[in-house]
Amino acid sequence: MTSYHGSCFCGAVGFQAEGDLAAGTMRCNCSFCRKMRYWEMLLPDPDGFHLLRGAEHLAETPRRQDDRMEMHHYFCARCGTRLWTQGDIAELGGRFVMVCVNALDDLPEAELIAAPVHYADGAHDNWMQPAPETRHL
């Protein structure tokens, strides 16, 4: 387990996350992840996430009316950097936090390159199965 530090582009928001990139990351083909180019690391324990600064600069992406998932996507309202997602989904084991890999600051490039990526088929609500096509993700 590693303690990672992350922030937005302008530095207004900072966080700490306990996780393991070597355990895998995820990209998804659902409409939100495709549009946002999301690349996430699921934390093994949601309590391993700590906001260090900038709560007043956080914004949440509004949910679509047809969205049935209990997910909250946070970003910096000043610079627009996507930071993390949290929610409660049975298929993910209940309560969860996923940090955006792109927002991690103290990540050696070699560790990022070596991180496994699971390409989830969220477009068909089948996250545990691989997406049929991944080149666009």
Answer whether residue 46 is part of any domain. Answer: yes
pLDDT digits (tens, 9 = 90+) for 70-96: 889 999 999 999 999 999 988 778 999
Q: Give pLDDT, residue 65.
A: 61
C-alpha triplet 25, 29, 32: angle, nearest 5°:
95
Answer whether residue 63 is part of any domain. Answer: yes
Q: Give pLDDT, residue 131.
A: 86
DSSP 8-state code for residue 84: E
List the one residue out of 122, 130, 111 whose CA is nearest residue 22. Answer: 111
User: Which CATH number covers residue 48?
Assistant: 2.170.150.70
Average pLDDT, the chain: 90
pLDDT band at 127 (very low <50, low <70, confident <90, very high): confident
The backbone torsions φ and ψ at residue 123, rounded to the nearest 5 degrees and listed phi first, read -60, -25
Answer whether residue 136 is part of any domain. Answer: no
pLDDT digits (tens, 9 = 90+) for 59-70: 999 876 666 778
Q: Is the pLDDT of residue 28 over 90?
A: no
Answer whether residue 131 is part of any domain. Answer: no
Token output for 123: 């477009």
The boundaries of the domain holding residue 66 are 2-124
* Tally of structural domains, the chain: 1
Answer whether residue 49 is part of any domain. Answer: yes
Mean pLDDT computed over 130-135:
83
List the one residue out of 11, 32, 12 whose CA is nearest residue 98. Answer: 32
Q: Is the pLDDT of residue 21 over 70?
A: yes
